[in-house]
Amino acid sequence: MSKLFERVALLGLGLIGSSLSHVIRQKGLAANITGYARSEATRKRALEIGLVDRVFTSAAEAVTEADLVILCSPVGTYGALAQDIGPALMEGAIVTDVGSVKAAVVRDAGPHLPASVHFIPGHPIAGTEQSGPDSGFAELFANRWCILTPLPGSNPEALAKLIAFWKACGSNVEIMTPEHHDLVLAITSHLPHLIAYNIVSTAADLEEVTDSEVIKFSAGGFRDFTRIAASDPTMWRDVFLNNKDAVLEMLGRFSEDLSALQRAIRWGDGEMLFNLFTRSRQIRRSIIAAGQDTAAPDFGRGPPKG
Ligand code: NAP
């Protein structure tokens, strides 16, 4: 793949920022990469493992002369970051992000970005429960969807270039409005994380069941929830604070459906339970058929990391 950009600036060098760096390097998508991270430890590590050619203590310095700027920190930081970089951005630069919510990013970052740049928010639907500069890998985005939410009047050439970038990273690209993105992700990602955090917390509070029993017998289903509930607390706090309406809407529907299940169990309605579980099984099979997961029995665990 030929070079798409001269200089990419990655603002945030955790799981997503470092994975982007790896894939940009592997596919030769940019001549050089500059980076910004909040802590000295991350900046030092990013240089050590070659994530960036140069690293800066200020985001404004990192974006100088960058023709692609990608915000890769938690969503709650985007307003302040956009304010910092606004005056330093190169004319004609594409500014995008990877945040897990979109309407709040448009609201918080948009007003600080000059009209001379192309602001096109985005969200790669790819991740793990790991975080930090060592957690990234080049294949993270392969065969995953990346949703772009261009704004009314977005420049078509800039959009085409950003689509080409994500395709070169191995992703399939879908375009939608920020509001629709937030609704879809509320049910497919945000609510499942909330449920996982809640079930792990409920188990931790049980007095009749000991902690060691929870760990010992976790293979009964609990283990998969603990993997999701190990996700980065800052990132997920920001997701719920910034996608409040859509999450509350989906949570309302979920609670109603949960009450129906509760009722079926209470009244011994086996047919209702069986039909619902059969439908769920079919959805799982469709996800595997669409290549978005594997049917391997040890999915998601793999060999222990050193
Ligand atoms: P991460 O591994 O925790 O890395 C976050 C990065 O942002 C770190 O470099 C961190 O710097 C920096 N940062 C944190 N707080 C900051 C602040 N207040 N000001 C400036 N920089 C700050 O997170 P991640 O998983 O890569 O997530 C980054 C973004 O990707 C989030 O917006 C998230 O919604 C989105 N996303 C995540 C996933 C996922 O599964 N993880 C998937 C898709 C999209 P230090 O290291 O110096 O603290």
68-71 and 54-56: which strand pairing?
A: unpaired
Residue 74 included in any domain? yes
The CB of 97 under 6 Å from ligand 1? The reply is no
What's the 10 CA to ligand 1 centre distance in angstroms? 11
Helix (H) or strand (E) holding 89: none
* pTM exceeds 0.75, yes or no: yes
Helix (H) or strand (E) holding 57: none
Helix (H) or strand (E) holding 236: helix 233-242
Tokens of 193: 């994380």
Residue 236 included in any domain? yes
Pair 253, 113 in one domain: no
Pair 155, 194 in one domain: no
**What pLDDT is attached to residue 171?**
98
Rounded CA gap, 11 and 55, in Å? 10
Q: Which residues pair with 54 in a beta bridge?
A: 34
The domain boundary residue, chosen from 127, 151, 176: 176
**Which residue's CA is minimally distant from atom 14 of ligand 1?**
73
Rounded CA gap, 180 and 273, in Å? 31
Residue 290 included in any domain? no
What's the 32 CA to ligand 1 centre distance in angstroms? 21
Residue 165 included in any domain? yes
With vertex at residue 125, the alpha carbon angle to CA 121 and CA 126, rounded to the nearest 5 degrees, is 125
**What pLDDT is attached to residue 303?**
45
Q: Tell me the CA distances in angstroms from 252 to 6, 78, 195, 257, one per residue in order.
A: 47, 29, 13, 9
Residue 301 included in any domain? no
The CB of 124 under 6 Å from ligand 1? The reply is yes
The CB of 70 under 6 Å from ligand 1? The reply is no
Rounded CA gap, 96 and 122, in Å? 6
**Which residue's CA is minimally distant from atom 39 of ligand 1?**
127
The CB of 37 under 6 Å from ligand 1? The reply is yes
SS3 120: coil
Pair 88, 203 in one domain: no
The CB of 189 under 6 Å from ligand 1? The reply is no
Pair 163, 144 in one domain: yes
Relative to the CA of 73, which ligand 1 atom is closest?
A: 7
Ranges of beta strands (E only) in 60-213 are 68-71, 94-97, 118-119, 122-124, 145-148, 172-175
> Domain with 161 in it: what CATH number?
3.40.50.720
Residue 287 included in any domain? no
Pair 69, 149 in one domain: yes
Ranges of beta strands (E only) in 93-225 are 94-97, 118-119, 122-124, 145-148, 172-175
Residue 272 included in any domain? no
> Domain with 215 in it: what CATH number?
1.10.3660.10
Pick from 17, 135, 127: nearest CA to 73: 17
Pair 162, 260 in one domain: no
The domain boundary residue, chosen from 133, 150, 176: 176
What's the 283 CA to ligand 1 centre distance in angstroms? 31
Pair 117, 214 in one domain: no
Rounded CA gap, 58 and 69, in Å? 14
Could you tell me which residues come within 8 angstroms of residue 213 by beta carbon, excluding any fewer than 6 positions away?
A: none
Domain carrying residue 170: 5-176
**Which residue's CA is minimally distant from atom 33 of ligand 1?**
99
The CB of 85 under 6 Å from ligand 1? The reply is no
Count how many domains the chain has. Answer: 2
Pair 150, 37 in one domain: yes
The CB of 100 under 6 Å from ligand 1? The reply is yes
What's the 221 CA to ligand 1 centre distance in angstroms? 28
What's the 17 CA to ligand 1 centre distance in angstroms? 8
The CB of 21 under 6 Å from ligand 1? The reply is no
Pair 33, 101 in one domain: yes
**What pLDDT is attached to residue 207?**
78
Relative to the CA of 18, which ligand 1 atom is closest?
A: 26
Residue 282 included in any domain? no
The CB of 72 under 6 Å from ligand 1? The reply is yes
Pair 237, 108 in one domain: no
**What pLDDT is attached to residue 297?**
67
User: Which of 10, 11, 16 has most ligand 1 atoms within 8 Å of its beta carbon, as the pocket-test mutant?
Assistant: 16
Task: Output the tens digit of pLDDT for each of the chain's 306 residues.
Answer: 679 999 999 999 999 999 999 999 999 999 999 999 999 999 999 999 999 999 999 999 999 999 999 999 999 999 999 999 999 999 999 999 999 999 999 999 999 999 999 999 999 999 998 999 999 999 999 999 999 999 999 999 999 999 999 999 999 999 999 999 999 999 999 999 999 999 999 998 887 888 888 888 888 889 999 999 999 999 999 999 999 999 999 999 999 999 999 999 999 999 999 999 999 999 999 999 988 888 886 554 554 433
SS3 104: helix
Ranges of beta strands (E only) in the chain are 5-11, 30-36, 54-56, 68-71, 94-97, 118-119, 122-124, 145-148, 172-175
SS3 37: coil
Pair 94, 171 in one domain: yes
The CB of 122 under 6 Å from ligand 1? The reply is no
User: Which of 15, 189, 238 has most ligand 1 atoms within 8 Å of its beta carbon, as the pocket-test mutant?
Assistant: 15
What number of residues does the chain have? 306
94-97 and 68-71: which strand pairing?
A: parallel
Pair 187, 141 in one domain: no
